[in-house]
Chains A and B, each alone.
Chain A
Amino acid sequence: MSTGTIPTPPKKLNRIGLEVLQYKGGKTTLCAGCGHNSISERIVECFYELGVEPYKVAKFSGIGCSSKSPAYFLGQSHGFNSVHGRMPAIATGAVLANRTLLGLGVTGDGDTASIGLGQFMHLVRRNLPMIYIIEDNGVYGLTKGQFSATADVGSKLKTGAPNDLPPFDCCALALKWGATFVARSFSGDKRQLQSILKAAISHNGLSVIDVVSPCVTFNDHEGSTKSYGYMKEHEAVLHELDYVPFFAEIAVEIPEGEAMDVQLHDGSHLRIRKLDRDYDPTNRLAALSAIEDAEHKGEVLTGVLFVNTSKPTFVDLLNMDEAPLATMPESKTRPSKAVLDTVMEELR
C-alpha cells in the first residue's frame, strides 16, 4: 500500500514501509496532561514499531473520556465508539464477523467497572482474542468528577468528600474469571507500558491491561490514590520487561535463571527479569495473592501479572472457518436448493 516514490528527505519507515504518521489519529480533545494521551502515544509507537498493518486493527470503546481516545490514534483503522459499558459486545460481534481483525478496546474505569462490569466479566470468561485497555483514573471525568467503582476506600474527591466503598480491582476480576494476559501499568511509565502493549499485541487471547491514568482535572490532588504524585510514591514494579519481536534477531542468549522467557503466539518473546522478588506470571493464584498483598501494603503493583499462552480463545471454540465470515461468498452461506427440498420433505 505504501509503495509510492520515496520522498526526500527519506522519512523513517517501519518494517512494512509505513511512517509513524500513518499510525496517528485526530488531534486529542482531552485535557493537557491527561494520562490517556500518554497511552494513545504508546499505542501509536507500539503498532508502528511492530509494523502492524493499520487496516487489520479495529478499535472499540464505550463512553467516557477514555472512550473518546480511539479517535486520536490509528486513524487508518476502523473504529467504533459505542454505548456506555457495552464495548465488549460490539467487539465480540465484530471479531466474530472478521476473525482476522486485531481488536483493540479502550475503556475507562467508569465504563468497565459499573454498567460494564457484566459485559467485562463475560468478555473475560470467553477469552475473546483482543486487547482491552482500562484507562483507570478512579473518577468520572466527562461528568466532572464523581467517584468511579475503582476508587480506593478513603480516597478523596476534589471537594474533599471521601469514598466509603471498596474498589473493584479489574485485574483481580480478569485473573479470576479467565483472561489469559493480565497486566497493570501506569501511564507515566513509558517503557513498561510499551513492553506490555507489545506483548498484548503478540498474545492470542484476551489481554486485560489496567493502566492507572491520572485525571489531571478531577483526580490529581492530595488525597487521590490515582494521581501522578501517589503513583510516584506507591507504584511497586514487579519485574523488568523486555519485549523481543518475532522479526528481531535475538542477539544475546540470557543465562538460565536470570530471566524468564515467555514465547508469545506470533513468535515474539517476553523476557521477564527479576527485580526484588520472585514472581511467576504463569501462576494465577500467585498473581491474585500478590495483588491482595499489595493492596494491604498500600502499593500499586505493576507489570505482567499473568500470562497463559495455551488456553483456546473464543474464536477457537466456535470452530469457525479460517476466512472472515464478513466476506464469505454466497456459495458458503446459502445452502443449496437440495437442502431446502430435504428440509421440506422432512416437514411433510
Chain B
Amino acid sequence: MSTLEVSPSEPASGQPDHSVVNDFSIQVATVNGSGSQTANSVLMRALFQMGIPVSGKNMFPSNIAGLPTWFTIRASKHGYIGRRKEIDFLVAMNPETAREDVMKLDSGAAVVYDEPLKLNELRSDLHFYPVPFDKLVGPVCPEAKLRKLVRNMIYDGVVAQLLSIEMGEIRNALVKQFGKKKAKAADLNMGAAQAGFDFAAKTFTKTDPFSVQRMNATAGKIIIDGNSACALGAMFAGVTVVTWYPITPSSSLVETLIGYMRRFRHDPETGKASYAIVQAEDELASIGMAIGAGWGGARSMTATAGPGISLMSEFIGLGYYAEVPTVVFDVERVGPSTGLPTRTQQGDLLTTALLSHGDTRHPMFFPCSPEECFSLSIEAFNFAEQFQTPVFVMTDLDLGMNNWMADPFAYPETPIKRGKVLDADDLEKLGGFARYKDVDGDGVGYRTLPGTNHPAASYFTRGSGHNDKAQYTEREDDYVHNMDRLAHKFDVMRKHVPAPVAHLGKGAKIGFVACGTSDYAVRESCDQLRNEYDIEASYLRLKAYPFNEDLLEFVRQHERVYVVDQNRDAQLLALMRLEFPAELIAKLRSLRYYGGLPLDARTVTDEVIRQEGK
C-alpha cells in the first residue's frame, strides 16, 4: 500500500492516485450497548445487496454495556471472507480506544471519526474525515432518549457517501433489519443515515482510494450466523428433546431454535408441540437430560461451550459406555477456565475427543460454514443414533455468532435414520435380544426403547461393567470383550464419518490440514503462497473425527504437512499423532494461532514462509 503524504491540517485534495475497489476492510470501533449492531449489520448487508462478497466479524467484550467493541467488515471481490488483519477504513466512535485504533493502522488508511476526538493530530499519513455526530443527530432525532442509538446510523451515511455504497441499499437493509412492523424505526434510522450522507457530500473531498462497485457475486445467497444454521439443522434433523444451559457463545443456538420450533413444530390443529425444550439448572443436568432423552428414544441435543464441556465430562463417559445417542453442540470459545468468553478458538478438540475418565473416544463433526452447520448437524443426529453414542458438533464463536454469506440450505434428501431399534414385532420374531451383542460385526448392538410392549424388551442400562446382555459383571473377559467392541465400533465409524475435502496443488510438496473456520484463512493463504511466493500447497479440510484413510493418504503424498490449529497446544495435530505411524508423524508441522480473533490468511502465510525458511 502506498504511503500518502497528507498534512494533518490540510487533507489532500483531488482524486486519489490509485483506486482500491471491492477489496478492503472497514472497522467500526464503538462501545457495546450503544446500538451499533444495527448500523454495522446494515452496512454489511448493503454491501451484500450490492452483490459484493462480504463478511462481518464482531469483536465484543464479555459485558452488557460500556466496553469497547469492534466490528470488521471485509469486502472482497475475490470472495475471501476470512478475517483480514489490516484495517483500511476505520470508523472511530469510541474515545477510549480511538487513539490506539488509529496508531495501529497501516499508512494510507482512512479514518472517519467523531470530531471532538481530534484524531487527525495523531498521524499525518492517513486520510481523516471528522464528523460532528452530536450536532448532526439532534435535528434527525428529536427524542433525546433515542439519540444514543440513532447516532451510529450517521456513520453508515458518511461511509456510504465516501465508499459509494448505494443509499437505496442502506434503506433496503434497514427495512430488512426492522421488518414491516417497525417501519417508523427504519425511517428514523434512515433519516440519520441520510444526514450523514448529506454532511459527507457537502463537506468532504475524497482523498482515500477505497470504494465499492456493484457486482453480481451474492445473488441468491443468504446471510446467517452459524448458530442459527445449527438450529435449523437440528429442527430439520427432527430433534425432539432439547436441553440447555445458557453460555456464551452457544446460547443463541438454542434461542434461535426455540423461535423456529415455536413457528414450525406445533401441530396446526391441536397446537401441541412435537418437542420439549428445557432450560436446565446447569450443564450437568442439561447433558443428563439429553442422555436420558436419547435413551428414552428421543432425538436429543444440548448446546454448550468449553466450561460446559468440562462439566459434562462424567455423563459423556456414561453415554459412551452405556451407548446412548445424543448430540452436543460445542461452540468453542477461548479457554482455559473462563478464558476469553467472547473470543474464538478451537480449544476443545483434544478434551472433547477423549472426554471423561477411562478409555473413551467420541466422534466430532467440524462444520466450516453455515451450509455445513446445517447439513452436518442433520448428519450428526443420524450418526448418533446409528452408532448409539454422543456426537459432538464442534463449531466456534467466529462461525457461531458472526454473520456469514451462504448458499441457501439444501433440504435433506434422505429420511431420518434411527439406527438399530427393535420394536415389539421384531422381539416377537427374534424371541429376545442381547443389548450389547455385536450381531452385525460393526460393533453396534440392537437397542429397545422403554415403553416397548413386549416382555423381552427390557434391559438394564448402567455405567458399571456389563456383558452382552447388559448384566452387571466384573469379569476380566467380559470387560475386555466389551471395551474391544467399543474400540471396533469407533474404527467402523471412520468409514461413515463425513469425508474430508481435498484440494491438491499441482506438484505440491507441502500441504495443509485444518478443520472448521481455519478454512477461510488457509484457502486464502494457498493463493497468497502461489501468487506471492510461487509455492503450490495442497489442502485437506477435515469434516470429522475419527480420521479416515483420506487423511493418511494426504500426508503420505506430501513432504511436509502443516496442521493448522486455533489453539496453543496443537490439539488437532496431537490427535493425529495419537494414531499415526512414526514416519507420517515426522512429516507434520504445527501452525498455530490462539490470540482469540478469527484466523487470518497473512498469519498462516507468514508462518509457512518462516518454517519453510524462505
Q: Which residues of A does B touch, CB under 8 Å?
A: 1-2, 22, 26, 53-56, 58, 60, 70-71, 75-83, 86, 88-98, 100-101, 118-119, 122, 318-322, 324-328, 330, 332-335, 337, 339-340, 343-344, 347-348
Q: How distant is the Cα of A72 from the Cα of B464 in the complex, in angstroms? A: 16
CB distance from B433 to the nearest CB of A (A): 13
* B481-532, CB < 8 A from A: none
A327 touches B449 (CB 8 A): yes
B274 touches A70 (CB 8 A): no
B280 touches A347 (CB 8 A): no
Q: How distant is the Cα of A95 from the Cα of B243 in the complex, in angstroms? A: 13
B461 touches A79 (CB 8 A): yes
A119: chain B residues at CB < 8 Å are: 281, 284-285, 288
Q: Report the interface size for chain B: residues with CB under 8 A from the other chain.
A: 75
B289 touches A325 (CB 8 A): no
B236 touches A81 (CB 8 A): no
Stretch binding the partner chain, chosen from B60-68, B405-413, B570-578: B405-413
Known A77-B458, A83-B314, A96-B278: A89·B450 in contact at CB below 8 Å: no
B290 touches A330 (CB 8 A): no
A56: chain B residues at CB < 8 Å are: 451
B289: chain A residues at CB < 8 Å are: 89-90, 92-93, 96
Known A58-B450, A327-B449, A328-B240: A1·B455 in contact at CB below 8 Å: yes
Question: Nearest A residue to B243 by beta-carbon distance?
Answer: A93
B293 at the interface (CB under 8 A from A): yes
Q: How distant is the Cα of A329 from the Cα of B291 in the complex, in angstroms? A: 21
Known A1-B453, A1-B454, A83-B318: A326·B270 in contact at CB below 8 Å: no
B272 touches A319 (CB 8 A): yes
Among candidates A60, A76, A82, A93, residue contacting B290 with C-beta atoms closer than 8 Å:
A93
Q: How distant is the Cα of A2 from the Cα of B456 in the complex, in angstroms? A: 12
Among candidates B264, B276, B300, B460, residue contacting A339 with C-beta atoms closer than 8 Å:
B264
A319: chain B residues at CB < 8 Å are: 271-273
B533 at the interface (CB under 8 A from A): no
Q: How distant is the Cα of A325 from the Cα of B240 in the complex, in angstroms? A: 6
A76: chain B residues at CB < 8 Å are: 455, 457-458
Closest 3 CB pairs of A and B: A89-B288, A93-B292, A326-B297
A344: chain B residues at CB < 8 Å are: 222, 408-409
A88: chain B residues at CB < 8 Å are: 285, 288
B240 touches A86 (CB 8 A): no
Question: Nearest A residue to B218 by beta-carbon distance?
Answer: A348
**Residue interface bits B235-249, CB-to-A below 8 A is 1, else 0:** 111111101000000
B282 at the interface (CB under 8 A from A): yes
Q: How distant is the Cα of A337 from the Cα of B238 in the complex, in angstroms? A: 13
Q: Which residues of B does A touch, CB under 8 Å?
A: 220-224, 232, 235-241, 243, 260, 264-265, 267, 270-278, 280-282, 284-300, 314-315, 318, 322, 408-409, 411-412, 415-416, 448-455, 457-464, 471-472
Q: How distant is the Cα of A328 from the Cα of B267 in the complex, in angstroms? A: 12
B281 touches A93 (CB 8 A): no
B241: chain A residues at CB < 8 Å are: 93, 96-97, 325
Among candidates A54, A83, A322, A325, residue contacting B276 with C-beta atoms closer than 8 Å:
A325
Q: How distant is the Cα of A60 from the Cα of B471 in the complex, in angstroms? A: 16
A82: chain B residues at CB < 8 Å are: 288, 291-292, 318, 463
B449: chain A residues at CB < 8 Å are: 78, 98, 326-327
CB distance from B72 to the nearest CB of A (A): 21
B281 touches A122 (CB 8 A): yes
Residue of A86, A95, A97, A343 contacting most chain B CB atoms (<10 Å): A97
CB distance from B356 to the nearest CB of A (A): 10
A343 touches B260 (CB 8 A): yes
Known A94-B295, A96-B289: A340·B280 in contact at CB below 8 Å: no
A90 touches B458 (CB 8 A): no
A22: chain B residues at CB < 8 Å are: 455
Question: Nearest A residue to B471 by beta-carbon distance?
Answer: A26
Q: How distant is the Cα of A74 from the Cα of B553 in the complex, in angstroms? A: 53
Question: Nearest A residue to B326 by beta-carbon distance?
Answer: A93
B318: chain A residues at CB < 8 Å are: 82-83
CB distance from A328 to the nearest CB of B (A): 6
Known A81-B462, A318-B273, A332-B274: A97·B452 in contact at CB below 8 Å: no
Residue of A56, A96, A337, A344 contacting most chain B CB atoms (<10 Å): A96
A330 touches B415 (CB 8 A): yes
Known A55-B454, A78-B459, A344-B408: A335·B292 in contact at CB below 8 Å: no
B295 touches A55 (CB 8 A): no
Known A78-B459, A93-B300, A122-B281: A101·B293 in contact at CB below 8 Å: no
Question: Nearest B residue to A346 by beta-carbon distance?
Answer: B222
A340: chain B residues at CB < 8 Å are: 232, 236, 409, 411
A328 touches B461 (CB 8 A): no
A93: chain B residues at CB < 8 Å are: 241, 243, 288-296, 298, 300
B232 touches A326 (CB 8 A): no
Question: Nearest B residue to A78 by beta-carbon distance?
Answer: B450
B291: chain A residues at CB < 8 Å are: 82, 89-90, 93
B240: chain A residues at CB < 8 Å are: 97, 325-326, 328, 333
Q: How distant is the Cα of A343 from the Cα of B288 in the complex, in angstroms? A: 32
